[in-house]
Amino acid sequence: MIKDFIVLTKFVLSFAVSLSALFAYIMAKGEVGADMFIATFAVLLVAMGVSTLNQYQEYKEDALMERTKHRPIASGKWSPRTAIIIAAILIVASLALIYDLLGFIGVDLFLFSFLWYNFFYTPLKKKSALAVVPGAILGVIPPAIGWLAAGGSLAEPEFFALGLFYFIWQIPHFWLLVMLHYGDYAGAGYPTAMRLFGKMSLQRLTYYWLMLTIMTGYFMVTVFQPASTVIIGILMLTALLAFISSLQLLTKDFDLKRARKVFWQINLAFLGTVILISIDEFLKVH
């Protein structure tokens, strides 16, 4: 049952998403505080809630795809009604927690995430291969929560740079997943970027978006102005490694199975960028 709950709520992915609130808090304040953990936990709850509701919305399509057919609702282990109850509990709990921490601005951001993800992005995925672009807005919400919890303003240039980085990052991240699972997506009736652009064009587009992510990462670094020369050196190395990994997408004989390796390499590089800046901001204060 615990394993099914973890799958139903996409706990691992939800936890990874919640960490962006934690890092944003440190980047804004340079410190670790109790409210940082509250904000992170609230994001975890809402991410689990909307993910559970998403699985309820897509369980028929999930049953048609090899990688998702064993999910609790798609496989028939759990009823759709059970998923709705769990989603409601998680979302309501997250709203109560974020209201206590941030008031109505936190509630508004969580409600936007819920409505945008479950009632705009989820239906749009079935109609457009480009749904990922408006869907990428969701990637900005968790760091916004962390930033606000630290007492920062969303109008600050530092948050703009951070939010832009997260937004751009989402698109090549998703298109690499499309390369890996496009057969599953197509079989379940989803329009895919692979079908829309073709293999080579999608590889090039993903490469360009990765270059744009690297550039927005550079912009973020210049805005935060790291003080540690060691961290600056590691950041430069991280960007170089991300660039080298991205170059694989330009080869004509690129095996789509290699997209998994590129996926992990670039995501670790971009996550490393955020972590390194967080460490530098912490060291500035201490």
List, as one string, the DSSP characters of 31-80: S--HHHHHHHHHHHHHHHHHHHHHHHHTHHHHTTSTTTTTSTTTTTSS-H
Domain 1-152: CATH superfamily is UbiA prenyltransferase (1.10.357.140)
Q: What is the pLDDT of residue 208?
A: 97
- pLDDT at residue number 39: 98
| 186-242 pLDDT, tens digit each | 888 889 888 889 999 999 999 999 999 999 999 999 999 999 999 999 999 999 999
Where the chain has pLDDT below 70, the residues are none
Q: What is the DSSP string of 115-130?
A: HHIIIIIHHHHTT-TT
Domain boundaries, the chain: 1-152, 155-286
The pLDDT of residue 182 is 84
Q: In this predicted structure, what is the pLDDT of residue 50?
A: 97
Q: Choose among 39, 147, 152: nearest CA to 98.
A: 39
Distance of CA 44 to the CA centre of its chain: 12
**Best CA proximity match to 281, nearest among 239, 236, 240, 220:** 220
Per-residue pLDDT of 130-156, as tens digits, reads 999 999 999 999 999 999 999 999 999
Quick one: pLDDT at residue 263?
95
The count of C-alpha atoms lying within 13 angstroms of the C-alpha of 27, restricted to the half-sphere facing its C-beta, is 34
Residue 108, both tokens: 């508004």
**Is the whole model's pTM more than 0.85, yes or no?**
yes
Q: Residue 252's pLDDT is what?
A: 87
